[in-house]
């Protein structure tokens, strides 16, 4: 079985740095947000975290050959259709209870899990060449997690990262450009950001309740003491010697990772100082704080504890 640790979180929860910190362990093959691999990698040939474009990257070329005999053998049009039919949060009930799903959904899901089974087999094979014995996928989306539960050969674990919703909402309010193509990233107001924070985190909680092996990690616990990550990982994937991460005090020595998507930090290499981004404390309006408080209480307090 291919152990895959899925980082589940609402967007803007700091998961790119967290994933890259985990990737400093030689046991880990960290591949970024695989949910975006088909469009941003295979179709648009955006840069991999290593700096090469996706189709020129040696790691992803190996994955493509191992999984499909080459990326050009993948039917991207069919895949796009199938993903639109299956991989949406509103269809999670069908992913939970496939017997209720219409035949068209079941056919699309069948094709998708076959493709993903091959993909993760390819990633595991390419990663094992450098000593990786499990995969970290920071796709974050709830529906993709529930889809991954259905992928044959994948032993799924969930690292559920919860950041303070005030920090998340503040980040969603900022205008940020994607370095890959210069396009602005999505922005959300505090009502929508709070609702998304609540909805996504409840779905990860649901995954835990139905038996996905999980660890919840408050993002603020990681920024206070990054070594908590190694302990979370050892509880999620027990059996090896204790995980060692390249952390000295608050400095993390990042290597080169073949991440397909994520925030601009995925291109950083070398020493990075860990700083808690607490700018919301001074720049979030009273009105936004009140809105966020109304929507997210009492879960904010509940999930702030590991
Ligand atoms: Zn690469």
Residue 203 has pLDDT above 80, yes or no: yes
Q: Residue 234, CB half-sphere, CA atoms under 13 Å: how many?
A: 11
Mean pLDDT of 229-246: 91
In angstroms, what is the span from residue 257 Cα to ligand 1's centroid? 7
Residue 20 DSSP symbol: H
Residue 136 has pLDDT above 90, yes or no: yes
pLDDT digits (tens, 9 = 90+) for 7-50: 999 999 999 999 999 999 999 999 999 999 999 999 999 999 99
DSSP of 223-270: HH-TTHHHHHHHHHSTTSSPP--SEETTEEEE-----SS-SGGGG--E
Give the pair of three-digit tokens for residue 230: 């190694």
In angstroms, what is the span from residue 100 Cα to ligand 1's centroid? 40
- The mean pLDDT value of the chain amounts to 95
Instruction: Give the predicted TM-score (pTM) of the model.
Output: 0.96
In angstroms, what is the span from residue 163 Cα to ligand 1's centroid? 28
Give the pair of three-digit tokens for residue 31: 């591949």
d(CA 289, CA 254): 34
Residue 73 DSSP symbol: G
d(CA 60, CA 56): 8
pLDDT digits (tens, 9 = 90+) for 271-299: 999 988 889 999 999 999 999 999 999 99
d(CA 5, CA 125): 16
List, as ranges, residues with CB under 5 A of the ion ligand 1: 48, 50, 57, 59, 258
Q: Provide the pLDDT for residue 256.
A: 95
Residue 118 has pLDDT above 80, yes or no: yes
Find, among 32, 97, 20, 65, the residue nearest to 254 by Cα.
Answer: 20
Mean pLDDT of 231-254: 91
d(CA 293, CA 151): 38
Residue 205 has pLDDT above 80, yes or no: yes
In angstroms, what is the span from residue 94 Cα to ligand 1's centroid? 35
Higher pLDDT, 178 or 136: 136
Residue 305 has pLDDT above 90, yes or no: no
Q: Provide the pLDDT for residue 171.
A: 92
Residue 72 has pLDDT above 80, yes or no: yes
């Amino acid at each position: 079985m291919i152990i895959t640790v899925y980082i589940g979180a609402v967007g803007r929860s700091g998961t790119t740095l967290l994933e890259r910190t985990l990737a400093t362990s030689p046991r880990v093959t960290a591949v970024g947000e695989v949910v975006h691999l088909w469009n941003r990698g295979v179709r648009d040939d955006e840069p991999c975290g290593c700096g090469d474009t996706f189709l020129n990257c040696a790691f992803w070329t190996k994955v493509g050959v191992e999984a499909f005999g080459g990326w050009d053998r993948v039917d991207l049009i069919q895949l796009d259709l199938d993903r639109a039919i299956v991989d949406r949060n509103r269809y999670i009930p069908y992913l939970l209870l496939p017997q209720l799903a219409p035949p068209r959904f079941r056919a699309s899901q069948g094709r998708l899990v076959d493709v993903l089974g091959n993909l993760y087999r390819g990633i595991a094979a390419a990663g094992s060449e450098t000593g990786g014995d499990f995969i970290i996928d920071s796709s974050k989306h709830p529906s993709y997690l529930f889809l991954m539960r259905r992928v044959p050969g994948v032993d799924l674990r969930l690292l559920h990262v919860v950041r303070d919703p005030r920090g998340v909402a503040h980040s969603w309010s900022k205008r940020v450009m994607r370095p890959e193509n210069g396009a602005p990233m999505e922005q959300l107001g505090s009502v929508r950001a709070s609702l998304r924070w609540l909805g996504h985190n409840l779905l990860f909680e649901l995954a835990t309740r139905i038996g996905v092996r999980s660890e919840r990690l408050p993002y603020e616990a990681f920024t206070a003491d990054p070594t908590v990550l190694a302990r979370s990982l050892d509880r999620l994937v027990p059996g090896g010697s204790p995980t060692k991460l390249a952390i000295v005090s608050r400095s993390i020595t990042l290597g080169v990772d073949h991440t397909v998507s994520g925030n601009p930090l995925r291109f950083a290499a070398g020493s990075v100082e860990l700083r808690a981004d607490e700018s919301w404390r001074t720049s979030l309006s009273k009105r936004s704080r009140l809105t966020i408080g109304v929507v997210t209480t009492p879960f904010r307090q509940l999930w702030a504890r590991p």
